[in-house]
């Protein structure tokens, strides 16, 4: 371990080496979870086949398969949280573009229910003429 520290001189080298060492661990964990899912599906299949065949030992197989499937689902969600893989639904930022036809004054505001293109809205701040909605679009929400 000491020799590894001597070879790695900068912080970026250390970070890169730790990521390379972490990849096999991630792969092995994923393979373990996948193996549990496959065995669970087999137990459920075997239990249903035993039930349809008239055997009385089907309950334990179905129960083992179900518990294995639940356990693997829990492990996968926990594994994904630790890696930072989360589905974070975000609402899009929808904006409305309003322009004055006379003086060309342009205003961007948040979309309001009932907005549509070429709708006449409030009066212009510069020339006091009615303004029209000329565009409605969504902006990209930047992830933190």
CA angle at residue 111 from 105 to 116, to 5 degrees? 75
What is residue 142's predicted lDDT score, i.e. its pLDDT?
61
The pLDDT assigned to 78 comes to 83
Instruction: Name residues whose C-beta falls within 8 Å of residue 46's C-beta, 6 or more positions apart in sequence.
Output: 61, 65
Q: Which residues of the chain have pLDDT under 50?
A: 1-4, 6, 8, 144
d(Cα 118, Cα 104) in Å, to the nearest integer?
A: 15
Give yes or no for a contact between 61 and 50, defined as CB atoms under 8 angstroms apart: yes
């Amino acid at each position: 371990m000491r020799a590894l520290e001597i070879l790695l001189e900068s912080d970026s080298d250390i970070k890169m080496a730790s990521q390379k060492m972490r990849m096999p661990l991630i792969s092995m964990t994923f393979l373990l979870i996948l193996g549990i899912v496959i065995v669970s599906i087999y137990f459920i299949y075997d239990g249903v086949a035993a039930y349809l065949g008239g055997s009385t030992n089907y309950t334990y197989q179905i129960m083992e398969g179900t518990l294995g499937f639940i356990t693997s689902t829990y492990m996968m969600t926990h594994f994904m949280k630790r890696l930072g893989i989360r589905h974070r639904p975000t609402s899009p930022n929808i904006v409305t573009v309003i322009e004055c036809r006379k003086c060309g004054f342009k205003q961007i505001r948040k979309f309001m229910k009932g907005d549509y293109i070429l709708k006449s809205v409030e009066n212009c701040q510069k020339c006091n003429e009615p303004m029209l909605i000329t565009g409605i679009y969504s902006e990209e929400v930047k992830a933190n």
